[in-house]
Structure 1
Amino acid sequence: MTTTFEPIIRNLLDTDLYKFTMWQSLLHAFPANQAEYRFVCRNTPAFPLADLKQDVERELDALCAMRFTDADLDYLRTRPFLKSDFIDFLRIFQFQRRYLTIETEGANLSIVAKGPQIHVMGMEVYVLAIVNELYCRRFDRSAAIEEGSRRLQAKIDLLRQQGASTKERRHPFEFFDFGTRRRFSASWHEHVVATLHKEVPEYFKATSNVHLARKYGLVPIGTMAHEYLQTFQAVGVQLKQFQKASLEAWVQEYRGDLGIALTDVVGMDAFLNDFDLYFAKLFDGLRHDSGDPSEWARKALAHYAKLRIDAHTKRLVFSDGLNLPKALSLHAEFADRVQMGFGIGTNLSNDMGTETLNIVMKLLKCNGQPVAKLSDSEGKALYVDATFLAYLRQQFHRE
């Protein structure tokens, strides 16, 4: 007796909004770019990921057979910042399996997406969600769901207990789901989003997942990730100008929409050196993704003060390894000084008492040239060329 194969990804909107926003921008700016993205596991899994190779291949074959539906495109068209030519591009778009290479390297799993950037850049979140769900299937599902349900209720209880104190602050406590890529499963992810939307809508305001945003009437949230800024390291821009060039291109593409800038591609200090009065006025705020969050926030607030900008008109978004207690603590520290938002990933969609993966799929080459990320957190730097990394450090005065 054969069982019917049901793929993990069943709708191409089951990904993060910022994949679409970056996709549109790079389609317009650099349609001929060639790029290479690589899967990386930053921690030690509970069992060899190489064991998943066959199942990953089957899932990615299914992904590459899918197309955006008319209903998908109609929903994307409701986002005012997505342009008609990009929607038309998605109508004829289909992922190409030939751009994906899946191999094993000992106990490790190697996944490389290499080809035209506008064809391979969209694969990232799907690949990570697939690997993560296949990995999580190795655990006792009933026990995990039971523990996950208990922990989800504890989060709701915590919000109800501490919610009153957050309302005493000048700016409200708002958090978002950023958990697509590291979720326990697609069904559990949906359960978490639906439950939070029902139980604590005064605090839970949005999700990065476009499919779930559409299904539950939530705001789909997201702007840019590291790959967007890193691309500008390899497109003929003087290296020390790549951040300014990427921010300027974003402004020209979105004309005031999607105004949260990511700060940690070469570190917060180097970012602020480029984030002058012009950009500080044009962007609505900043997103933290590495380093000490309190120190980062103090630097951001000092920068706005130096530029004579009222920080109450700006927003700081935190998204690095957050949980609710940490988010509430940061809110208590800064919510009288600036608008805030908290994007929580693994701790919402995969808090099940099991050993979680720390996986990413990052841009490492563009147009045949290496690109790199200099994180403010140890262990989050990514590169394939040590010489280029040293040059990048030199250009931005990073030791």
Structure 2
Amino acid sequence: MIINLARRAHDHNWELDPITRSLLDTDFYKLLMLQFIWKHFNRTRATFTLMNRSQDVRLGEVVDVDELREQLESTRKLRMHKSEMIWLAGNTFYGKRGIFEPAFLHWLEHDFRLSDFELGVKDGQISLQFEGLWVETTMWEIYALSAIDELKTRASLKKLTELELDILYARAKTRLWEKMAKLYGVPGLTVSDFGTRRRHSFLWQDYVVTAMRDVLGKTFVGSSNTYLAYTHDLEAIGTNAHELPMAMAALADSDEELRESQYKMLEMWQQTYQGELLIMLPDTFGTTQFLEGAPDWVANWTGQRIDSKNPYVAGDEYIAWLERRGRDPRTKRLIASDALDVDSIVALHAYFGGRLQNGAKAGDFRSAVDFSDPKRWLPEHRIRFSSGWGTYLTNDFRDCNPQGNDGFNPISLVCKLSEVDGRPAVKLSDNYQKAMGPQKEIERYRKVFGTAGVANAPVSV
């Protein structure tokens, strides 16, 4: 059913409309990681802290903190529905049935609870923290981010007349259609929705996912949003994230244990999931050092997700590493996921999924490629490439506001692990600008892991 988004925004009582409608309204990897944490770290305590990297947006003055508190309290009351549990237990994920253990599903249905939270405003920014058992805090990440982003949206929507709302959504829908038109018919292209955490709203993400499914067909391979995968009969996409190696590193007792923790986490993961879900995310402490020090068995993993590194550089680095390890890159999966938009998706697909007749370099593909000319385009994939399309799929309202201001522009908001059993958690990243943690600990980690391959790049989302 197509919802009249402008009419809904104009007439509906937003204060009574819950943003998080289901505990499944989260990234699929959060559920997979929750099972991992429940199995191995069920008595470990963890703290998650909100951070607005777009400091020019004084979020505490945009979002009504009392409304946010009501939304978070509403989310705390949610429980899994019987139909959702049946779907998790009986559905096939990545070709495997029974990926969630019966004991875990029983705990999830009967005993899972979200922790309490501390909420306020400090220096114009929202101050939000979740502290408790790791199994009680980890799921807050996506619920908190999507709630704040939607409340920011609602605050801007309230300033528009019904006509202006109509124009806003007409422009956004036209932009979505133009983006889908660029992707339609591109040979071998695969794209998935990764846009939950920074979406314009739940209803808009639902609209976008429906449109992508209906227009792009098999090119659109699924959504990282578990609830939308459930309701639209799509593949749920996702494996694991930075949170796990950050926690393992924080629990290390020596520099040697710290260095090896990133591989210990992978070993525990593949044992937990019996050799399934083997997509690694190597940039937590720097991709280059990760690959150089990785045990040989890591090269047997199915693929790699690129997050904070230039995707051309990161992809070439991974391909070269696989070849040095005697593995065929054409059998592996490479997933780009950081700040992608339609032209970068097409260009990256062209670079990794084919070649020009006279050869190619990375720079040749940084604008969209004409796939319709068979004399120029020869499919000859170097690696199985796919894109996880996030913010600029589910929250691209840039220049759509008829009032002309940037109130609907997405911001770079994160909610990250900050402490584990009282120890500070650190993320270095492949981008100096994305490093997180106490400065003293960041410096210690950089001495252990080095800074090879790390660059300075602007952070947009």
TM class by shorter chain equals over 0.9
Instruction: Say which one has the larger Rg.
Output: 2
The residue number in structure 2 matching 1:251 is 270
Deviations 1:313-363 (A, max 9, x none): 100000011111101101111112000110011111001123112111000
Residue aligned with 1:232, SS: helix
The residue number in structure 2 matching 1:101 is 118
Is residue 216 of structure 1 aligned with residue 235 of structure 2? Answer: no
Equivalent pair of 1:113/1:120 in contact (CA under 8 Å): yes
Deviations 1:92-147 (A, max 9, x none): 234345x3110110210011011100101011101000000000112244343122
Is residue 159 of structure 1 aligned with residue 183 of structure 2? Answer: yes
Is residue 262 of structure 1 aligned with residue 281 of structure 2? Answer: yes
Of 429, 434, 447, the residue aligned with 1:380 is 434
Higher mean C-alpha deviation, range 286-295 or range 70-79: 70-79
Of 95, 102, 108, the residue aligned with 1:90 is 108
Structure 1 residues 314-393: aligned runs within 5 Å: 314-335=332-353, 336-353=381-398, 354-383=408-437, 385-393=438-446
Structure 2: runs of 5+ lacking an equivalent: 1-11, 354-380, 399-407, 453-461
Distance 1:278 1:56 in 2: 45
Equivalent pair of 1:243/1:274 in contact (CA under 8 Å): no
Mark the CA change 1:45 to 1:57 in structure 2 (over 3 Å): closer, same or farther.
Answer: farther
The residue number in structure 2 matching 1:68 is 80
Aligned length: 387
The residue number in structure 1 matching 2:18 is 7
Residue aligned with 2:87, SS: helix
Equivalent pair of 1:128/1:359 in contact (CA under 8 Å): yes
Equivalent pair of 2:195/2:394 in contact (CA under 8 Å): yes
Higher mean C-alpha deviation, range 121-130 or range 38-47: 38-47
Residue aligned with 1:193, SS: helix
Equivalent pair of 2:58/2:125 in contact (CA under 8 Å): no
The residue number in structure 2 matching 1:271 is 290
Distance 1:221 1:338 in 2: 19
Post-superposition, which runs of at least 4 consecutive aligned residues in structure 1 deviate over 4 A?
A: none
Equivalent pair of 2:114/2:139 in contact (CA under 8 Å): no
The residue number in structure 1 matching 2:245 is 229
Is residue 148 of structure 1 aligned with residue 172 of structure 2? Answer: yes
Report the residue type matching 1:24 in the other structure: Q
Report the residue type matching 1:117 in the other structure: W
Q: Which has the higher contact order (CA 8 A, sep 6+)?
A: 1
Deviation at residue 377 of structure 1 after TM alignment: 1.8
Equivalent pair of 1:64/1:94 in contact (CA under 8 Å): no
Deviation at residue 38 of structure 1 after TM alignment: 0.4
Residue aligned with 1:287, SS: strand
Is residue 302 of structure 1 aligned with residue 320 of structure 2? Answer: yes
Distance 2:113 2:195 in 1: 23
Is residue 137 of structure 1 aligned with residue 154 of structure 2? Answer: yes
Calculate percent identity across the aligned residue pairs: 29
Deviations 1:255-312 (A, max 9, x none): 121111111101111110233321111x100000002110001100000000010011
Mark the CA change 1:310 to 1:96 in structure 2 (over 3 Å): closer, same or farther.
Answer: closer
Is residue 398 of structure 1 aligned with residue 417 of structure 2? Answer: no
Deviation at residue 235 of structure 1 after TM alignment: 2.8
Distance 1:83 1:21 in 2: 11
Residue aligned with 2:130, SS: strand
Distance 1:154 1:44 in 2: 31
The residue number in structure 1 matching 2:375 is none
Mark the CA change 1:213 to 1:45 in structure 2 (over 3 Å): closer, same or farther.
Answer: farther
Report the residue type matching 2:393 in the other structure: L
Report the residue type matching 2:75 in the other structure: L
Deviation at residue 390 of structure 1 after TM alignment: 1.5
The residue number in structure 1 matching 2:329 is 311
Distance 1:63 1:138 in 2: 20
Distance 2:290 2:64 in 1: 39
Distance 2:451 2:432 in 1: 13
Equivalent pair of 1:45/1:357 in contact (CA under 8 Å): no
Deviation at residue 236 of structure 1 after TM alignment: 4.0
Is residue 23 of structure 1 aligned with residue 41 of structure 2? Answer: no
Distance 2:39 2:101 in 1: 10
Distance 1:208 1:52 in 2: 28
Equivalent pair of 1:184/1:350 in contact (CA under 8 Å): yes
Equivalent pair of 2:153/2:201 in contact (CA under 8 Å): yes
Report the residue type matching 2:420 in the other structure: C
The residue number in structure 2 matching 1:189 is 205
Structure 1: runs of 5+ lacking an equivalent: none
The residue number in structure 2 matching 1:112 is 129
Higher mean C-alpha deviation, range 255-264 or range 120-129: 255-264
Deviations 1:25-48 (A, max 9, x none): 111111111111101111146553
Deviation at residue 196 of structure 1 after TM alignment: 0.5
Report the residue type matching 1:9 in the other structure: T
Mark the CA change 1:187 to 1:65 in structure 2 (over 3 Å): closer, same or farther.
Answer: same
Equivalent pair of 2:249/2:258 in contact (CA under 8 Å): yes
Deviation at residue 202 of structure 1 after TM alignment: 2.6
Deviations 1:51-88 (A, max 9, x none): 42111100011011110111111111124321111101
